[in-house]
Chains A and B, each alone.
Chain A
Amino acid sequence: MSWNDSQPMVSIKNVHKSFGALEVLKGVSLDVMKGEVICIIGPSGSGKSTLIRCINALNDIQEGSILVEGQEVNDSKLDKLELRKKVGMVFQQYNLFPHKTALENVMMAPIRVLKQDKDEVEKTARALIRKVRLEGKEDSYPGELSGGQQQRVAIARSLAMKPDVILFDEVTAALDPETVNEVLLTIKDLADEGMTCILVTHEMGFAREVADHIYFTDRGVIVEHGPPTNFFDNAKDPRTKEFLSQIL
């Protein structure tokens, strides 16, 4: 495949997605370049989470095209493993493996999926745990960690696969307010290091700070998008204005 990083890393074109009779995405298009951080915001039920779940094929789409580094996701012969090596994901409910320690959670996928050497993986995993500021918690089980700590383990678990892009699906929505910041800080570190990030979030202050581009979705379409300063200060569409007035 002849993808190079002058082309969008993720290219979404006219994507339609329905659950039964309910059309959730009604023709969404957006591009994400390598190293870019984009935030998708919008009211509940506007299709934000569905959209990013389509990028790593957790949801299939009915119409349109999603290219990840030139690989078409909307393809019945899609090699999901190849796709998921490139695209990491962090979930709202962390979804750690409860029967594995923090360290084992991080080590599992590289050993099982990438068949990497266990000792090498352990070294990388310990470094990642340090990176998300959880040194000393390696041997704790998820049930023994706070929500914020679990979410940081989940981020480390995703990073262990060395993805090219990471999807963050409302990763702070289930957290206690006092632990939100530790998770946001971790994501900001990644953004600063040049990791390509696609975030669905309700943290407007954070979106404004880290995002290169903001997309506002409502009822299955992208209503408005732009760089954060433009978007937050000069929103043009009435729906965007109304949404922003309610939450800012």
Chain B
Amino acid sequence: MEAFYEWFRVLYDDTGINLPFLYDSYDRNRMFYGFLMTVKLSVVCLFFSVIIGIIGAWLQASPFKWTRRLINGYIQLFRNTPPLVQLYFFYFAIGSLLPKVATDYGGQAPLLGNFAWAVISLSFFAGSFNVEIFRSGIEAVPKSTVEAAEALGFSRLQIYRDITLPLAFRVILPALNNNLVNLVKTTTLAYAIAVPEMLYEANQIWSDNVNVTEMMIFMLITYFLLVGVLVWGMDRWERAMKIPGYGT
């Protein structure tokens, strides 16, 4: 392994192509933890944004007028404003209004850190699109199928969980796929509030080494591969969910 790393040091000496995140153990660590942070941020946000989509679409069909208005207001607000502005709003505006907590060293720290705010902000951002995506799938489920479940005595929640959602899922997977890909790419915005994700760490490295070109190429390739894995997984999932004789 050391020989592999050393090769890149030689490469730098011979050609000037500088990839310190390979030959330098300090930069290697920074890059590695940045990558882990991006994966962690993506997975957590994917999870919460889908949950928000499912619950939001359920509430959107609520018999209560104000519940529906609240959900629609949320969608409009988060869909029609830039995610970077949302992130700043959460981190600087809401974050500064929250009480501070005492730290172990006798100092004061914000109640929620930058990672937590990035998760909240990005989940709500992607969630607002997910609500609309889930709604489109739910509307594609025939009313007569739902009626059959009603006639069998299923409750509204049981129908949503056992009939509507599983059928809607199959309709919306391509659209959901798109939005989740967007979400993974949008995690780079967390850079702006200093969440040490991949782009942030890359910036640290190019500031120290003045190798912007190499780092940028590396970022492009890494995100391409990372999102590729997600797309591959979603495609497999889509195939696995196919129902024989349905929707062909």
Chain A residues with CB under 8 Å of chain B are: 56, 58, 80-81, 84-85, 87-89, 91, 93, 95-99, 108-109, 112-114, 140-145, 154, 157-158, 161
Contacts and interface: CB of A to CB of B under 8 A. Distances in A.
Given A97-B149, A98-B145, A98-B167, 9 more contacts: A58-B151, A87-B151, A91-B148, A95-B142, A95-B144, A108-B152, A144-B245, A157-B152, A161-B152
Given A113-B158, A157-B152, A161-B153, A97 B163 contact: yes
B36 to A, nearest CB: 37
B158 A141 contact: no
Interface residues of B, number: 23
Interface of B: 142, 144-145, 147-155, 158, 162-163, 166-167, 170, 243-246, 248
20 contacts: A80-B150, A84-B150, A84-B152, A88-B151, A89-B148, A91-B147, A91-B148, A91-B151, A95-B144, A95-B148, A96-B148, A97-B145, A97-B148, A97-B149, A98-B167, A109-B153, A112-B154, A113-B153, A154-B148, A161-B152
A109 B159 CA distance: 11
A84 B243 contact: no
Given A58-B147, A80-B153, A112 B245 contact: no
Nearest to A98: B246
Nearest to B245: A143
> Closest 3 CB pairs between A and B?
A143-B245, A95-B148, A84-B153
Contacts of B246: 98-99, 141-143
A141 B166 contact: no
B159 to A, nearest CB: 10
Contacts of B163: 97
Most chain A CB atoms below 10 A, which of B152, B162, B166, B170: B152
Most chain B CB atoms below 10 A, which of A89, A95, A154: A95
A102 B100 CA distance: 58
B78 to A, nearest CB: 31
Given A58-B147, A84-B151, A85-B153, A98 B243 contact: yes
A99 B149 CA distance: 13
A108 B243 CA distance: 17
Nearest to B155: A81
A58 B153 CA distance: 11
Contacts of A154: 148
Contacts of A112: 154, 158, 162
Contacts of A88: 151
A141 B151 contact: no
Nearest to A154: B148
A58 B155 CA distance: 13
